Amino acid sequence: MSIGEVLAHLRAEFPDTTISKLRFLEAEGLVDPQRTASGYRKYSWNDVARLRFVLTAQRDQYLPLRVIREQLDRMSDEPPVPARPTLVAVGTEKAADPSDTRIPREDVIERTGVSGELLDDLEQIGLVTAKPPGWYDGDAVIIVEAVVGLTRYGLETRHLRAFRAASDREVGLFTQLLAPLVRQSDPAARARAAETARELQALSQRLHAALVRAGLRGELGR
């Protein structure tokens, strides 16, 4: 498969995956696709399985690449993986919630490729917050990954303040919608509030993506 075909296979389960992300994982030695005579990457189903393993471990367990690489190395002597396999990361329990995860600063830097200076800048403008004595939760890692991707296209730290302001306005709006449920002491109401919050987040993401997509389509004359 070409890198575009691999991306199409993975996007259904990992919608935030990009070609740049796949190239980065290759550069980190987590997958090693063959090359054609012209230099194009050609992936096998086993390569796709390794990528799915890596992306699952990052998404569900927030493991740094160093740990994921060690797990893959331990499996390297096992029999060949059959067609269309699914590997499951082991050795770490899945976090029930990103806020329950504690990731040290050095692992955040290793996993995301962020510089220490940029990470400090993100804290100063309030995009991420370190918990004493310097731990980050799962959402902070997701934010840093996204920022690193954006900066590769030329966005600067000052541009990111708009994202913070927009998210704060959205949080304020959703808080008003959730307030009637949150004020109730009934555990069932609390559960409904949590589920409603998840639905609002999903709908907001869909709306934002569609609006940006439509706006860019107009700018590109499509």
Of residues 156, 100, 104, 159, the one with CA closest to residue 130: 104
SS3 38: coil
Tell how strand 41-42 and strand 34-35 pair up.
antiparallel
- Which tokens go with 88? 């499951």
pTM above 0.75, yes or no: no
Residue 186 main-chain phi, psi, to 5 deg: -65, 125
Q: Which residues of the chain, if any, have pLDDT below 50?
A: 80-86, 88-96
pLDDT score, position 97: 57
Of residues 71, 41, 42, the one with CA closest to residue 54: 71
Place of tokens 């307030």: 179
Digit-coded pLDDT (tens) for 98-140: 666 788 999 889 888 899 999 999 999 999 998 887 889 888 8
Residue 167 main-chain phi, psi, to 5 deg: -65, -35
Of residues 12, 96, 19, the one with CA closest to residue 60: 96
Task: Produce one character per residue of 46-74: b if its CB has 16 or more CB atoms within 10 Å, e if not.
Answer: bbbbbbbbbbbbbbebbbbbebbeebbee
pLDDT score, position 100: 66
pLDDT score, position 93: 42
- Which tokens go with 89? 């990361």
CA 20 from centre of chain:
13
Query: What domains can be seen in the chain, in order of their start residue?
Result: 1-93 (1.10.1660.10), 95-155 (1.10.1660), 159-219 (no CATH)
pLDDT score, position 83: 43
pLDDT score, position 171: 93
Please name the residues in contact with 40: beta carbons below 8 A apart, sequence gap of 6 or more.
2
- In angstroms, the CA 124 to CA 216 distance is 30
Digit-coded pLDDT (tens) for 65-76: 888 888 888 876
Torsion angle of the four alpha carbons 53, 54, 56, 57, in this order, in degrees rounded to the nearest 10: 110
pLDDT score, position 142: 86
pLDDT score, position 44: 92
Hey, how many other C-beta atoms are within 10 angstroms of the C-beta on 27? 10
- In angstroms, the CA 118 to CA 109 distance is 10
